[in-house]
Amino acid sequence: MKFENILYSEKGKVAFITFNRPKALNALNNALLKELKVALDTLDNNENIRVLVLSGSGEKAFVAGADISELQSMDPEQGRKFADLGQSVMDKIGALKIPVIAAVKGFALGGGSEMALSCDFIYAADNAVFGLPEVTLGLIPGFGGTQRLPRLIGKNRAKEFILTAKRIKAEEALELGLVNKVCSLEELDSSVEKTADKIASLGKWTLSAVKEAVDKGMDVDLKSGCLIEKNVFSLCFATKDAKEGTTAFLEKRPPKFE
């Protein structure tokens, strides 16, 4: 796949999408979001890929936010369409049947934080900076930030974070539970790839089942969530993954998930 605003590559069973507008610190505009949506739609039908890694070009930014030059001239209807596009992309990332890891270097502000939040988890370099500064522009987050952030760090903390346009460094993001791991800038890529390869060695159905049980369960009460888990668990026994995994364990050999 060839694009103008993103880069796409594959390494084994892991796919990599890199936001590639370095002169604009990888800011999100309509063109990039549309290309990303096409790439995600194509990836969703790729049976070989089991993990996706999202990153930004260069070391200065994952995504520095939305492209302000586009926002400045928008009227309410154009703003709604831009939010529709952005939210549809974030929703698509969350709905992928494979795990998605955000590898964050430098700025992840506004839409950049929202992009990272839409992933299954985040690894950050020690130079990463997170923030939702939209209020300083007379706006609010429009790509799911007001919804995903409180679900991750709690309502009150999220309100303070957004209302003060607070910027936090990687270590504080780790303490808040916003990111899973902080690495040196030099070690981030190898650390992400190591985790991605470990996950990619598992069966694709199993990966999808974990995402379904956790994500759907978060939106309901505990009893309903456990019912979701039970239903997904039972369906595992209809798969080759479960047969191979249990057989390999009894035969004392590594499983080979196809």
- If DSSP states are collapsed to H, E and C, what string results for 56-107? ECCCCEEECCECHHHHCCCCHHHHHHHHHHHHHHHHHHHHCCCCEEEEECCE
pLDDT beneath 50, residues of the chain: none
Confirm if 162 and 128 have CB atoms less than 8 A apart: no
* Residue 238: Cβ-neighbour burial (10 angstroms; 0-12, 13-18, 19+): exposed
CATH of domain 6-200: 3.90.226.10
Which residue is catalytic, options 134, 172, 193, 212?
134
Catalytic (active site) residue 175: no
| Cα 104 to Cα 130: distance, rounded to the nearest angstrom | 9
Q: What is the pLDDT of residues 103-157, one digit of tens each?
A: 999 999 999 999 999 999 999 999 999 999 999 999 999 999 999 999 999 999 9
Confirm if 131 and 109 have CB atoms less than 8 A apart: yes
Confirm if 90 and 66 have CB atoms less than 8 A apart: no
Q: For position 26, what pLDDT does the model report?
A: 97
Query: Domain ranges in the chain?
Result: 6-200, 204-250
| Cα 168 to Cα 126: distance, rounded to the nearest angstrom | 11
Pairing of strands 129-131, 107-109: parallel
Catalytic (active site) residue 193: no
Which residue is catalytic, options 4, 70, 114, 172?
114
CATH superfamily ID and name for 204-250 = Lyase 2-enoyl-coa Hydratase, Chain  A, domain 2 (1.10.12.10)
Alpha-carbon distances, residue 165 vs 157, 168, 206 (angstroms): 12, 10, 39
Reduced to 3 states (helix: H, G, I; strand: E, B; else coil), residue 23 is helix
Q: For position 74, what pLDDT does the model report?
A: 94
Q: For position 1, what pLDDT does the model report?
A: 64
- As a residue count, the chain comes to 258
Q: For position 2, what pLDDT does the model report?
A: 78
- CA-based radius of gyration for the chain: 19
Tokens in use for 132? 């939702």
Torsion of CA 81, 141, 89, 60, to 10 degrees: 120
